[in-house]
Amino acid sequence: MEDGKITIFDVAERAGVSKGTVDRVLHNRGEVSAKSAAKVRKAIEELGYQPNLYASLLATRNAHVIACLLPEFAPGEYWERINDGMVLGGKQVASLNVLVRAFYYDQYDARSFRSACAELLASKPSGVVLPPLFMSDTLNFVQELQNYGIPYVYIDSKLEEDNYFAYYGMPMYRSGHLCAALLTERVAAEDVDEVAVIRINRDKNRQSDPTVSRRAGFMDYMATNFPECRISPLFINPSDEDGIYAALDEFFSEHGDLRYVVMFNSRVHLLNRYLEDHPVPGRRVIAFDNLDKNMQMLRDGHLSILISQHTEHQSRDAVVTLANYILMRQKPATRDNFMHMDILTRYNQENY
């Protein structure tokens, strides 16, 4: 024994066999007589030997693949941070013969999503990480995963009535509540007569709506606490900068002195040029996620509050959780693993 720990050498000595024989019994490989195997198992039981599970897994040399189904992204976007987390998770589990492979799709095209799903299934992964952007297509896809016995972990958001293995991300409904509470904090009900909700114009059939639960939380809070408040949506095209500016100009021209603005995703920076050119005293703008462009808006005073999280932790933790389950059948302590909801202002963002 070394430092009080039972080793494979102690088991071999107690059983009266070689270390190689103990190793073959532990890993169930090579020929060992029934008598010797019985001695080894008895010694293991008497000594209370706990084999190194990770070393045992490495010894089998069985490689597993965790597939990550992610939207395509440009540098600086939210999904790049999710991708970075996937890479970090992959590095953590690489020594255990677990590989991480990404399958990308156009988040505005359901056909692209379905094609990526088919390619992923054909690769026969051991586990899957995904955000459920296209709800109906996602449900069809995860049903196939269940049919094959492949565990899957949701990140970013989740489908509530689904048999997912685990979830890593914000508590979406409560994040909507928080957004509404921060927007209306210390404001008289009669002063909150209208709120602008800026939304992304996504796929044509609007199947892709990752913030639906967050929006529901916001709307429920407003209906309960500010029932007379009018919620005015505006859809913008994220790839048309000039069109966004024109749409905002027309919208705010029609809505007078509207001072309350929210976005439920990471793209509030698309509003920056207009807000900078059209400052309004007392305007409150609240959005999500600490992308560099959003943080700059916060510093410049064009954004009031960012509700943020350490985004890359979602995908990193999802990969590690799946690896632990695939290799050792170790389940996470909780099925829903919620990220912190950090409230950032221009006064506390510097060291985040």
What confidence tier does 208 reach under pLDDT thresholds 50, 70, 90? confident
Among candidate residues 339, 332, 348, 346, the one with its CA nearest the CA of residue 166: 332
Instruction: Flag whether pLDDT at 302 surpasses 60.
Output: yes
Rounded Cα–Cα distance for residues 111 and 165 (Å): 26
Residue 65 DSSP class:
E
Rounded Cα–Cα distance for residues 81 and 294 (Å): 14
Among candidate residues 334, 340, 339, 341, the one with its CA nearest the CA of residue 164: 334
* pLDDT tens readout for residues 328-341: 899 999 999 999 99
Rounded Cα–Cα distance for residues 280 and 30 (Å): 77
pLDDT at 3: 47
pLDDT at 18: 86
pLDDT at 184: 95
CB 146 within 8 A of CB 163: yes
Between residues 225 and 2, the one the model is more confident about: 225
Residue 262 DSSP class:
E
Rounded Cα–Cα distance for residues 230 and 292 (Å): 32
Between residues 204 and 38, the one the model is more confident about: 38
pLDDT at 28: 65
**Cα Dmax for the chain:** 89
* pLDDT tens readout for residues 66-120: 999 999 999 999 999 999 999 999 999 998 889 999 999 999 999 999 999 999 9
Mean pLDDT confidence for 261-269: 97
Pairing mode of beta strands 98-105, 260-263: unpaired
| 181 contact partners, CB below 8 Å, separation of at least 6 | 221
Rounded Cα–Cα distance for residues 242 and 210 (Å): 25
Instruction: Flag whether pLDDT at 152 surpasses 80.
Output: yes
Instruction: Flag whether pLDDT at 27 surpasses 70.
Output: no
Instruction: Flag whether pLDDT at 2 surpasses 60.
Output: no
Bridge partners (DSSP) of residue 196 are: 232, 261
Cα atoms in the Cβ-side hemisphere of radius 13 Å centred on 9: 3
What residue spans in the chain does CATH classification 3.40.50.2300 cover? 64-169+311-339, 172-308
How many C-beta atoms lie closer than 10 Å to residue 217's C-beta?
A: 22
Cα atoms in the Cβ-side hemisphere of radius 13 Å centred on 283: 18
Mean pLDDT for the chain overall: 91
pLDDT at 319: 98
Please say whether the structural domain 172-308 has been given the CATH code 1.10.10.10. Answer: no
Of the candidate ranges 181-190, 215-224, 230-239, the one whose mean pLDDT is the lowest = 181-190
| 277 contact partners, CB below 8 Å, separation of at least 6 | none
pLDDT at 161: 83
Percent of the chain with pLDDT over 90: 74
What confidence tier does 198 reach under pLDDT thresholds 50, 70, 90? very high
| CATH class of segment(s) 8-51 | mainly alpha
pLDDT at 56: 57
pLDDT at 190: 81
Q: Where do we find the tokens 């044509």?
A: 204
What confidence tier does 52 reach under pLDDT thresholds 50, 70, 90? low
Mean pLDDT confidence for 307-331: 95
Instruction: Flag whether pLDDT at 61 surpasses 70.
Output: no
pLDDT at 95: 86
Of the candidate ranges 72-76, 124-128, 205-209, the one whose mean pLDDT is the lowest = 205-209
pLDDT at 34: 80
pLDDT at 35: 87
pLDDT at 55: 54
Instruction: Flag whether pLDDT at 54 surpasses 70.
Output: no
Instruction: Flag whether pLDDT at 203 surpasses 70.
Output: no
- Would you state the structure tokens that stand for residue 78, as one six-digit string? 């939210």
Rounded Cα–Cα distance for residues 104 and 350 (Å): 33
Bridge partners (DSSP) of residue 154 are: 130, 167
Instruction: Flag whether pLDDT at 1 surpasses 50.
Output: no
Rounded Cα–Cα distance for residues 164 and 157 (Å): 12
What residue spans in the chain does CATH classification 1.10.260.40 cover? 8-51
Name the superfamily (CATH) of residues 64-169+311-339: Response regulator (3.40.50.2300)
Which residue stretches of the chain are H helix? 8-15, 19-27, 34-47, 53-60, 78-93, 110-122, 135-147, 172-183, 212-225, 241-254, 272-277, 292-300, 312-328
What confidence tier does 38 reach under pLDDT thresholds 50, 70, 90? confident
CB 23 within 8 A of CB 37: no
